Amino acid sequence: MKLFKIPLNAGAMDRKKGLEKAPDRIVEHLKDFYLTEAGVLPLFEVNEIKVDNSHFEEAHKKIYDELVKINNYCCLLGGDHSLTYPGFKAFEIINPHSKEELVSQSPSSLALLLLLCLLD
């Protein structure tokens, strides 16, 4: 599974400190994650999209551009919630028929649907 660390904290607008550290912390704990009761560790390909937290729009553009280039399913590990927007935009380009499915879902299930699609 492809994982992308995105240490973004630009959307929090200085209200919350340290969100950019979350991707590294999550990856640190992946060694504790077991896929089966037999203790089989899943294979993760960990990449990083480096962003400049002082330039919100540029950070979003870079996230979008990098994800569209991948043209494959992946899981985004952030930072703040604002990385969801460029993630959805890239997902829609890669999966052109997904928009109708996403629009028909309730807002509370959109994040779950994105996660399930990215992990598929």
Asked if pLDDT for residue 44 goes beyond 80, the answer is yes
pTM for the full model?
0.73
* Section 25-53 average pLDDT: 82
Superfamily of domain 2-119: Ureohydrolase domain (3.40.800.10)
- Domain ranges in the chain? 2-119
Please tell me the predicted confidence (pLDDT) of residue 110: 52
User: Quick check: 108 pLDDT over 60?
Assistant: no
**What pLDDT was estimated at residue 5?**
94
3-state DSSP of the chain:
CEEEEECCCCCCCCCCCCHHHHHHHHHHHHHHCCCCCCCCCCCCEEEECCCCCCCHHHHHHHHHHHHHHHCCCCEEEECCHHHHHHHHHHHHHHCCCHHHHHHCCCHHHHHHHHHHHHHC
